[in-house]
Chain A
Amino acid sequence: MSLEQINWLLDVREYRRVAKNRKALREPGQGTDYTHERFREVVQRVVSRIHPRRMNLRVMEIIPQTATAKTFCLERVDGPLPPFRAGQYVNVMVNVEGVRTSRPYSISSAPMAERLELTVRDKPGGFVAPYLVNALKVGDILETTGPAGHFYYEPLIDGQDLVFLAGGSGITPFMSMMRDTVQRQRPIRIILLYGSRAPEDVIFLGELEKLAASHSNFTLSLVISEPPEGYGGLKGFLDSKAITQLAGDIKGKTFYVCGPRAMHDFCKATLKEIAVPQRKIRYELYGPPDDVSKDPGWPEGLSGEMVFEVDVAGKKMILAKAGEPLLNALERSGFVVPTLCRSGECSSCRIRLLGGKVFMPTQATLRESDRKGGYIHSCVSYPIDNLKVKI
């Protein structure tokens, strides 16, 4: 008998071994018992501890911050608060004037805190913020998504020297990040440049000053753009002069920008001017543009007030204004579209465009295949033609 023939016999004998092995595992008490309790809805149970899809939060306390901003202290009533990364947001679902819609708000409390805090500023022309600031009472329940977003300190690549550029209510994610840094005693240095319109608009002033006074690795600079007469502090915008002066040598530092869109655009140009590499800058999202018709690429002569017909395939025909995100028009007509960031990034509100044209500002980050395949992110899609869409 040759060696190969012996090997052949050995290989064929494996049939018996495999059969025996399988039979043994199927005896009671052997192998994996998938009827065991630990496999019951295992995916949902395990995942929801860290990434709940929805949370019900009860308003426990409302703290006025400025004339227009309030902090809502919330407790979760349908489970423990999930962990999150300081800087993340939740999308708050609301029913305002009969319209079911949502808005994302950064969490301002630290991740390990017992209560979750959202700080909201009422802004003129807003739809949801005025409702939250003026109508929400202690004891009310808010429905939100789980925490989401990518604007946080990432120790894997961000280094230990951070510069926070905050504008107006854009301070909220930074507040969470600073509270987290203190609580966890992270060995990082933070320089916060906080731009506000007027001194009385500064949110968290007391706590920020206290943090700066008691922690040597944290410096605070307030910059006021419309200072009252005789204001003694720093005045103007977060321009290159202010940044180089206040943040010092940029080498090795990571910059974080959160504020209104105008401030983003301004900081982007400024940071480029002082040669901060793109890879060292993190931007938070800022919602849809205030006036999309001023965006580069907007069709010339088209008024934002222009109204188009939108055929929601197989459902109904609705009207939508050119200057308003398609998502808002859909929501007003009672359609439920999943949403999260409402800034063009997360793709939750992705729908298919079957006919017509929309305008999408550059902040819409579509997948390459979605762009080619006619999908749109409805939160930053503006009808510039009669449309046919499929949700």
Chain B
Amino acid sequence: MTQQYDAIVIGAGLGGLSGATMLAKNGLKVLLLERHNVPGGYATSFVRGRYEFEVALHELSNIGPKDLRGGLYRYLEYLGVAAKVEFLIAPHLYRSIFPGLDITLPVGREAFEAKLCEVFPHESKGLHRFMDRVFGMGRDFARVVKERGVGNRMSMLFRFPDFFRYLPTIWGQVLNRDVKDPLARAVLSQYWGYVGLPPSQISFLFLAMTLAGYVRRGPAFPVGRSQALSNAFMNTFEDLGGEVRMNCGAHKIVTENGRACGVITDEEEEIRADWVVSNADPVTTCRDLIGFDKVPPRFFTKLQSSEVAPSTVNVYMGVDRSPEKLGLTEHEVFINTDHDFDRHYEGTKNLEAPEALGVTCYNAVYPDISPKGTCIVVLTALKYGEPWYEIPPEQYVDTKNRIGDAMITMAEKVFPGLREYTEVVEVSTPLTNMRYAGAMGGSIYGFNQPPRDNMVWRMGHRGPLEGLYFVGAWTQPGGGFEPCMMSGQMAGGAILAKIKKRQEGKLDVP
């Protein structure tokens, strides 16, 4: 039996949820397929004993407090998702620890710059100048998005000078001109872990947008963890008339005359639709779901210049002690062995102890996340997925525990007693990410984001076949919670624009 939908969305990660909701909001008849029994992809949680752990979210960008709502919040509001979730805003950005330096940075541009200048007075001129560039980029980019397609390309040069100038640049290259003190550079680049590449390689655009977003509106966290956000999307989608099938993936995308026109589900049912939106990674989508022979080879040639981003090793700890007693008063702490981020990055490609660590204690922003007198601590280190492919299965547990052990030891130097009071511990690896989210390499950011694959130049939403669209971290605008949700809006918007054109008779084929 074949059924007809306007659109089928494969995968209920945040990109898929957002895209499906966007389309349903605009009146399309949408079917959402998800292989797992819980929606959200990485935006989920799991329970061990009396603790419920957030899987992936450290902090959301561009939500903002009530009087300063950001773009993401406004989008969630438009969909009707925002009304179903409550957000908490952290007072501080992060605490950054290096040998000889321990600095906590506040939210708000003025306070942020004042704190940096207080610690690095000799750099104050350069720091201000650099933050001007960061915020200039933020301002210009917001306008570019808003005024897309207005005027010709050359005029962009004059209308959005900072955007035009820094679009092809690398973060480190811009930063190193303004700021000379390597420690000050490192503190400013601390969010590199959130973007997957070190300052010497990451696109200026992406890290600047990340930093500007957090500094301006503060890091946000949803009450009920990111699963609450995923559930809110799901319920909104269903309320809008969307149909969901959990425990049911798609194992083929049906094509006809070079056009994607439906899927075959894991239950061997063929379902037809005008549009197929894939939240799976593009390689899995085009190789395994569609089949090599049906995809123009040019697609894979273009993909050659994109590389899979890192994955993570996480140590989830339920600790039977109050965060105050452990000294865990900040939501996000970065522990660095030194300020050589290039070396730390090289370490993400092997199976050794990491050189840098994120310590997230959710209780600082969300006190009710665990029972009174306890806290939830998650240690995070970036690690590429590929080295894990080759580990003999019987050595897997020992390997992950060896790395997890080193991470706990590293965190304990700053927070004594952490291990002793731990009641529940769980170590996840790139393979865990692959297992639950199905992402190639367990990548948490889709493809890496050097300038050639930055928010503007990375893979778009239109797939290599007519009718096929991509959402999620692999596509524009990129990796991270906010970008994934925005990718759904962008892909959904592109499909809606095409439908509109068709209705206006500007296109003969859908």
Among candidates A50, A349, A370, residue contacting B393 with C-beta atoms closer than 8 Å: A50
Contact A31 B305 (CB under 8 A): yes
Q: How far is the CB of B148 from chain A (nearest CB, A)?
A: 19
* Interface mask (B144-179 → A, CB under 8 Å = 1, otherwise 0): 000000000000000000001111111001100100
With contacts A35-B300, A373-B235 taken as known, whether A14 is within 8 angstroms of B169 at the C-beta atoms is: yes
Known: A26-B305, A32-B304. A368 touches B401 (CB 8 A): no
Is there contact, CB below 8 Å, between B394 and A83? yes
Stretch of B45-53, B102-110, B499-507 at the chain-chain interface: B45-53
**Contact across chains for A39 and B283 when beta carbons are under 8 A apart:** yes
Bound-state CA distance A157–B409 (Å) is 12
Q: Are A366 and B47 in contact (CB under 8 A)?
A: yes
A7-62: which residues lie under 8 A (CB-CB) from chain B? Answer: 7-8, 11-12, 14-15, 17-18, 21-22, 25-26, 30-35, 39-43, 46-47, 49-51
- Give residues 381-423 of B contacting A (CB, 8 Å): 388-389, 393-394, 396-397, 401, 404-405, 408, 419, 421-423
Contact A345 B304 (CB under 8 A): no
**A22 close to B452 (CB less than 8 A):** yes
Chain B contact residues: over half helix, strand or loop, or mixed? helix
Of B117-125, B191-199, B435-443, B463-471, the one contacting chain A is: B435-443
Asked if B269 lies at the interface with its beta carbon under 8 angstroms from chain A, I say no
In the complex, chain B residues 215-248 whose Cβ is within 8 Å of any chain A Cβ = 224-225, 227-228, 231, 235, 246-247
Residue A173, interface by CB 8 Å? no
Report yes or no: B452 in contact with A34, Cβ–Cβ below 8 A. no
Interface residues of A in 345-369 (CB under 8 A from B): 345, 347-350, 365-369
* B224→A369 contact, CB < 8 A: yes
Q: How large, as a class, is the contact surface on chain B? A: 35 or more
Using Cβ atoms and an 8 Å threshold, which residues of chain A touch B3? none
Do A39 and B440 form a contact, CB below 8 Å, given A8-B165, A30-B304? Answer: yes
Shortest B177–chain A CB gap in Å is: 6
How many Å lie between the Cα of A30 and that of B302 in the bound state? 11
Cα–Cα distance between A14 and B177 once the two chains are bound (Å): 15
8 Å CB contact of B37 from A31, A42, A347: A347
Question: By the criterion CB–CB under 8 Å, are A368 and B52 in contact?
Answer: yes
Please name all residues of chain A whose beta carbon is closer than 8 Å to the beta carbon of B173 when the two chains form the complex.
Answer: 14
CA distance A365 to B452 in the complex (A): 46
Interface size for chain A: under 10, 10 to 19, 20 to 34, or 35 or more residues?
35 or more
How far, in Å, is B121 (CB) from chain A's closest CB?
22
Q: How far is the CA of A32 from the CA of B306 in the complex (A)?
A: 7
Check A18/B451 contact, CB under 8 A, given A35-B287, A156-B408, A157-B422.
Answer: yes
| B320 in contact with A33 (CB, 8 Å) | no
Chain A CB within 8 A of B292 CB: yes
The one of B177, B425, B438 in contact with A154, judged by C-beta atoms closer than 8 angstroms, is B425
- Known A26-B301, A31-B304, A50-B431: A43·B438 in contact at CB below 8 Å: yes
| A278, CB-defined interface residue at 8 Å | yes
A residues in contact with B292, CB < 8 Å: 35
Identify the closest chain A residue to B226 (Cβ): A369
- Which chain B residue shows the least CB distance to A279? B423
B111 at the interface (CB under 8 A from A): no
* Known pairs A25-B305, A368-B225; A43 contacts B434 (CB<8 A): yes
Residue of B nearest to A7 (CB): B177
- Cβ A367 vs Cβ B405 within 8 A: no
A334 an interface residue at 8 Å Cβ cutoff? no
B288, CB-defined interface residue at 8 Å = yes
Bound-state CA distance A160–B300 (Å) is 53
User: How many whole Å from A345's CB to the nearest CB in chain B?
Assistant: 7
Distance in angstroms from A37 CB to nearest chain B CB is 10
Report B-chain residues with C-beta under 8 Å of the C-beta of A121. none
Q: Chain B nearest CB: distance from A174 CB in Å?
A: 19
Verify B37–A43 contact, CB threshold 8 A. no
B303 at the interface (CB under 8 A from A): yes
CA distance A369 to B45 in the complex (A): 9
Chain B positions within 8 Å of A85 at CB level: 397
Question: Do A365 and B393 touch across chains, with their CB atoms under 8 A apart?
Answer: no
A112, A279, A347: the one contacting B38 at CB < 8 Å is: A347
Contact with A along B290-334 (1 / 0, CB 8 A): 001000000011111111100000000000100000000000000
CA of A33 to CA of B164, assembled, Å: 31
Q: In the assembled complex, how far is the CB of residue A218 from the closest CB belonging to chain B, in whole angstroms?
A: 22
Residue of B37, B165, B231, B426 most packed against chain A (CB within 10 A):
B37
A365 to B92, CA, bound (A): 32
Q: If A12-B165, A50-B431, A156-B425 touch, does A34 touch B225 (CB 8 Å cutoff)?
A: no
A372 on the B face (CB < 8 A): yes
Contact bitstring B441-462, A, C-beta under 8 A = 1, else 0: 1000000000110000100000
Contact B304 A51 (CB under 8 A): no
B337 partner residues in chain A, CB cutoff 8 A: none
User: How distant is A23 from chain B, measured CB to nearest CB, in Å?
Assistant: 8
What CA separation (Å) do A387 and B239 show in the bound complex?
A: 20
The reply on B427 being an interface residue by CB < 8 A is yes
A residues less than 8 Å from B394 (CB atoms): 83, 111-112
Contact B401 A46 (CB under 8 A): no
The yes or no answer to A272 lying at the interface (CB within 8 A) is no
Given contacts A43-B438, A47-B435, A373-B231, contact A367 B45 (CB under 8 A): yes
**Is B284 an interface residue when CB atoms closer than 8 A count as contact?**
yes
Q: B440 touching A14 by the CB < 8 A rule?
A: no
Does A260 sit within 8 A of B, measured CB to CB?
Answer: no
Whether, in the assembled complex, A82 has its beta carbon less than 8 Å from a beta carbon of chain B, the answer is yes
* Given A85-B397, A369-B225: A14 and B304 interface contact (C-beta under 8 Å): no
Find chain A residues with CB under 8 A from B441 CB.
42
Q: Could you tell me the distance between the alpha carbons of A18 and B306 in the complex, rounded to whole angstroms?
A: 13
A367 touches which of B47, B164, B165, B320 (Cβ 8 Å): B47
Which residues of chain B come closer than 8 Å to A338, judged between CB atoms?
37, 247
Are the C-beta atoms of A83 and B397 separated by less than 8 Å?
yes
Chain A residues positioned under 8 Å from B439 (CB to CB): 43
Inter-subunit contact A15/B423 (CB<8 Å): no
Residues of A within 8 A of B45 (CB): 367-369
Q: Which residues of B contact A157 (CB under 8 A)?
A: 419, 422-423, 425
A33 to B43, CA, bound (A): 30
Cα distance, A312 to B231, chains bound together (Å): 20
Give the 5 A-B residue pairs with the shortest CB-CB distance, closest first: A31-B304, A279-B423, A25-B305, A14-B168, A369-B228
15 contacts between A and B (CB under 8 A): A11-B174, A12-B165, A14-B169, A18-B457, A22-B452, A26-B304, A31-B304, A35-B287, A85-B397, A112-B394, A156-B401, A157-B423, A338-B37, A365-B47, A367-B224
Extra inter-chain contacts (19) besides given A33-B300, A369-B228, A373-B231, CB under 8 Å: A11-B166, A26-B304, A31-B306, A32-B306, A33-B304, A35-B300, A40-B287, A46-B389, A47-B431, A50-B396, A83-B394, A83-B396, A85-B397, A156-B401, A157-B423, A277-B320, A278-B423, A279-B423, A368-B45
- Chain A interfacial positions (CB closer than 8 Å to B): 7-8, 11-12, 14-15, 17-18, 21-22, 25-26, 30-35, 39-43, 46-47, 49-51, 80, 82-83, 85, 111-112, 150, 154-157, 277-279, 338, 345, 347-350, 365-370, 372-373, 375, 391
